[in-house]
Amino acid sequence: MKTKLSQTILIFTVLFSYATALMSNTAQAQTQIIAHRGYWKTENSAQNSITGLQKAAEAKVYGSEFDVQLTGDGVIVVNHDDKVNGITIAEVLYSKLNGIKLKNGEKIPTLEEYLEEGKKLKDIQLILEIKPHKTKELEKEISEKAVRMVKAAGMEKQVEYISFSRYICENLARLTPNSEIAYLMGDVSPKELKEKGINGIDYHYKVLKKKPEWVKEAHELGMKVNVWTVNNTEDIKNMLRLKVDYITTDHPVEAAKLAGNKN
Ligand code: MG
């Protein structure tokens, strides 16, 4: 009798875990959208601006991506290129950048200012791309400073990290092991990254078109898959078919519609 009861319990336990696993798989199935450099292809916005972040939040997409660089005096600023108006950011004091305006008239935000605004926008993830720097020392410095700032703001769950520098990703994995960290270059298998504590890939869509098996490999390892920068409808559809977790795009509103996201 006892054996029958324990058998029944075992069967129910197995069935229950199976159903839960199925449900969580379904929950993960819908691809989410990330606005590349914020939502900038809209009125009064600009790439890597505070407005771009606000507009992405208004569009109710999953995340807003942005790039950061270190100035000569160690301030982290939000900008894609290492130069602005012919000035190399790493070689000048932050004060030299203060008067420079973005296309929408805003100043170049610091990471601190960007996080401050992001904290008010609770429903959007901030996808922080740390740009490769000239030396390992600088890459270590910017990684440490960025993580410290995110932790001080209490935003560890709202900020995810990406980088083309494997050294930066490995540093991040050590500094903030519970964060989402994805490598961008596209030249390493998910398994190899996972061994270094990097828990995501964020590859160019052409890389995943050639190696669709990396999506499966990453998912089996419990890693997230993001793709950049997918702007064409057919390419977006292809990536949706591959069941990537995130699509990074300059057309977040259109992509969210294609993905069937409610917004
Ligand atoms: Mg970027």
Measured in Å, residue 15 CA sits from the centre of ligand 1 at 43
Task: Report the distance separating Cα 166 and Cα 193, nearest Å.
Answer: 9
Domain count, the chain: 2
Three-class secondary structure of residue 98 per DSSP = coil
pLDDT in tens, 79-89: 999 999 999 99
Measured in Å, residue 257 CA sits from the centre of ligand 1 at 23
- What's the DSSP call for residue 109? P
215 with 237, same domain? Answer: yes
82 with 204, same domain? Answer: yes
55 with 175, same domain? Answer: yes
**Residue range(s) defining the domain that contains residue 38:** 31-259
Measured in Å, residue 66 CA sits from the centre of ligand 1 at 6
Measured in Å, residue 124 CA sits from the centre of ligand 1 at 17
117 with 8, same domain? Answer: no
7 with 71, same domain? Answer: no
13 with 91, same domain? Answer: no
Kindly list the protein residues that place their beta carbon closer than 5 angstroms to ligand 1, a single-atom ion. 67, 129
**24 or 40: whose pLDDT is higher?**
40
22 with 127, same domain? Answer: no
CATH number of the domain to which 150 belongs: 3.20.20.190
21 with 111, same domain? Answer: no
pLDDT in tens, 155-188: 999 999 999 999 999 999 999 999 999 999 999 9
Measured in Å, residue 115 CA sits from the centre of ligand 1 at 16
103 with 54, same domain? Answer: yes
Bin 48: left if φ > 0, else alpha if -120 < ψ < 50, else beta.
Answer: left
Q: What share of the chain in percent tops pLDDT 70?
A: 89
143 with 199, same domain? Answer: yes
Taking the alpha carbons of 180, 184, 188, 189 in that order, is the dihedral positive or negative? positive
50 with 130, same domain? Answer: yes
Measured in Å, residue 212 CA sits from the centre of ligand 1 at 23
189 with 206, same domain? Answer: yes
Name the band, by pLDDT with cuts 50, 70 and 90, for residue 26: very low
Whether 201 contacts 223, CB under 8 Å: yes
- Nearest C-alpha neighbor of 139 from the set 161, 167, 164: 167
Measured in Å, residue 65 CA sits from the centre of ligand 1 at 6
